[in-house]
Amino acid sequence: MAPIKIALVGIGKIVRDQHLPAIAKNSDYQLIAAASRHGTVDGIDNFKSIEAMLDAVPAIEAVSLCMPPQYRYEAARVALDAGKHVFLEKPPGATLSEVADLEALAASKGLSLFASWHSRYAPAVEAAKSFLASTTINDVQVIWKEDVRHWHPNQEWIWAAGGLGVFDPGINALSIVTHILPRPLFVTKAVLEFPENRDAPIAASITFTDGQKLPVAAEFDWRQTGKQSWDIVARTAAGEMVLSEGGAKLSIDGKLVHEEPEQEYPMLYRRFAEIVKAGKSDVDLAPLRHVADAFMLGKRKFVEAFHD
């Protein structure tokens, strides 16, 4: 089969660090164009808007949308209306309703829509899922704390309404938890900390449970300094499981049992090629639903102003 002619929209740090290398190493793709207000990609045609790109390069078969979530719906709709398959960076949109609308539009046109959750493809995630399926889980703790100044310097969009704030990294944890636990979760309580000068939270404490009353607690914080914390800890009948470093390592009772090199974005693009070839979509909204529920149930707590 000929490679999928793909285009990138929104050329920023994540594209340069992850998307470009993953596409370059995958023979299922041929990158032929890019659109971005500020960035460009060497060796291909570049445009200032997705509309201009699609008009000028009709050979494009799929687009990967990597702009902030507040702007992704309009771009996705333009691409789907033009008959292109669509890859959505995480989170897939600013609201559940708009992603549901895109899913319905893709289905009506026989196109593939992919809500990509890169952390689900971390090396030890499947091993953690298998371990938890084999035992009784007593409780789960999620500790996802990082330094926003390091990971998102001067990115004002992430603090705006719809930018999700600390849930931008926190949704990575939720994408893993909703994948590895055996039953669906729901939020029971949340406290969201908002800086006085921002429209999105800098920290969140959330409690969840499931149909069998499993206690699950999550702590998200963007004020971490020093070593970053991306851990999921489960106390089980077979010992304490720690899925650490964002899903890269799995330990049971302190013994490392699974570790592999990181291949998250290459696996995402492999999955996208699979669904395009199969003529189907992959749109799991569970992680985004939990963020929405946290905002619905959450008590707002205002903290001191944040400045980069």
- Per-residue model confidence (pLDDT) at position 19: 98
Among the listed residues 157, 67, 95, 96, the one whose alpha carbon sits nearest the alpha carbon of residue 86: 67
* CA terminus-to-terminus distance, the chain: 48
Q: What is the mean pLDDT of the segment spanning 240-251?
A: 97
CA angle 16–22–24, rounded 5-degree value? 90
Q: Which residues on adjacent β-strands are paired with residue 229?
A: 145
Distance CA 284, CA 288 (A): 9
Q: Six-digit token pair at 107?
A: 């289905």
How high does pLDDT run on average in the chain?
A: 97
Confidence bin at 47 (pLDDT 50/70/90): very high
Percent of the chain with pLDDT over 90: 95
- pLDDT of 308 > 90? The answer is no
Q: Six-digit token pair at 285?
A: 């909204």
| Residues found in the chain | 308
CA angle 130–245–218, rounded 5-degree value? 80
> What tens digit of pLDDT does each residue of 96-151 get?
999 999 999 999 999 999 999 999 999 999 999 999 999 999 999 999 999 999 99
> What tens digit of pLDDT does each residue of 257-301 get?
999 999 999 999 999 999 999 999 999 999 999 999 999 999 999
Among the listed residues 104, 66, 110, the one whose alpha carbon sits nearest the alpha carbon of residue 84: 110
Percent of the chain with pLDDT over 70: 100
Strands of the 255-259 sheet, one edge to the other: 255-259, 249-252, 239-244, 229-236, 137-145, 216-221, 203-210, 185-195, 299-303
Among candidate residues 90, 227, 249, 301, the one labeled active-site is 90
Q: What is the mean pLDDT of the segment spanning 154-158?
A: 91
Q: Six-digit token pair at 114?
A: 């992919």
Confidence bin at 1 (pLDDT 50/70/90): confident
Among the listed residues 61, 63, 87, 52, the one whose alpha carbon sits nearest the alpha carbon of residue 5: 61
Among the listed residues 66, 230, 228, the one whose alpha carbon sits nearest the alpha carbon of residue 149: 228
Distance CA 243, CA 42 (A): 38
48 is known as an active-site residue:
no
Q: Are 260 and 124 in contact (CB under 8 A)?
A: yes
